[in-house]
Structure 1
Amino acid sequence: MMASLDTASEGALYNSLAEIFSAPRHLIEYAIIRNNLSLQSAGSAEEVNLKSIKKIIDDKIDTESTIGDFDNVTISHLTTRSESSIENPKPIYNLHDSLLHDTELSFKLKESGIMFRKSKKGIDTYLDGSLIDWESMIPKSNEEPCIRMIMRRLQPNRYFPEADKCINGFLFGGDIWENSDVRHIIEMPEFAENILRVLGKRKAINEWRSKVKAYVITFQVPVSRIIFDGSNKLNRRQTQYCLLRHAFYYLSKIRQGDWDQWDNPIIRLEDNLNVEAYQIVSIRAV
């Protein structure tokens, strides 16, 4: 069975690295201690030297090891849901599929008269049955940045050939909501808040916030289907090495008591990918 990189916790990560390097767990810890100065001086995970770490392990086991292949990696995703939806986990859809399927997101927006349909341009929005022209709203609104964010997520444009609809999360588990980029999500889904705010539905926002809680959903996905935020040019093996460098950087930072959620890499899934229910490893309330 192909190994996986389990990043949900420190202990799980040590165990999965031991499997990938075909070495006892204590040698993974030993390699981090012996490589401490180099890891401490690394300005980022990209500077972590896997060959140096591998040599330390090889010297202890007195043989040439290999960095094993692994198919999957775990991702931790911050979301806001009702308790009832968490009791019976369903697939995690990318934004477009979430709006077009019968999901909690599409249902609650429908309660406010907002519906979505697929079109040649991407996703069209309807309010009480009338098509919304987002572009024409901009001159009359004080919410131009918010409107443009909505447009960016629903339809591609000349600057962005793909709409921003993908599922994303963090490489490592823990208190991911402490990252300031996502802290606002603990109140309600960002897209829902944006669209309700632009359409002046403040009451619906308040009601939504009162009925949901924030959760961290950890799921497992194939290495070949992930993209590091800001880079989509890595092949499968390069992605594996990048993940491993981040893993050792993370464990070193944890050991030093210097880990910050701001250092946690954002991982994007391929644009049209959904996470099936069987891929979900754990769900915990924030």
Structure 2
Amino acid sequence: MRSITLDINDKIARITLNRPDVFNSFNREMALLLQNELDACETNPNVRAIVITGNGKAFCAGQDLKEVTTPELNPGFKKILEEHYNPIITRIRKIEKPIIAAVNGVAAGAGANIALACDVVVASEHASFIQAFSKIGLIPDSAGTFFLPRLIGFQKASALMMLGDKVPAMEAERLGMVYGVFSSETFDEEVNNLARVLANMPTKALGMTKRLLNESMANTLDSQLNLESKLQIEAAQSDDYAEGVAAFVEKRKPVFKGK
């Protein structure tokens, strides 16, 4: 069974973490496959929105501890971070297409932080998020210490990382960790509807918005204003802008092509 599956349909790429027997925890093969599939989605002009989700009861339980406790399988933490998780996070943030984390179940450790690095995070009502690292004497990785404090505040993030508390989906929404929570019965349908909306929006402008948000993490106000000006001028030269204005004037729904 392939540990990552990719299905492309109607401009939406659905990447599924597919090791349900171990709650979709990462081994080396799965981490490298995920990078490959993200690369494929980035270069495919027919993909205008990406969904990352999990097969079975979990979204992702983080690192497969069996791999790191089996000498002949263990790649070592240097490789795990530099060749597995860090490149995944970098790809998620640099791909200039909207990426949805569809958190269908528990998201723990690196699994939680990969979800939080996505552009839009939605969760099933039975999902939960756990910064599980402290439970085994590790520190949060996969950019958790970067994104979580920015999402929910320094103090709350610090407590969740040190205590390793489970955060149910509804609480995650209240804290600002997720965009929305859907019922288990309608979860797939709601995710598909959201992905369809994003796939039919002006992809180029969404990509620029993503780039601006990335840069805002470190930019000064003046630098950010300058970058906004540069990218707004570029966006105003796009086919999608011309279509958006024409549709507004003609009082019709725009048909964006992501160009």
Regarding TM over 0.5, the answer is no
Structure 1 length-normalised TM: 0.22
Whose helix fraction is larger, Structure 1's or Structure 2's? 2
Q: TM-score, normalised by structure 2?
A: 0.23
Rg (Cα) greater in structure:
1
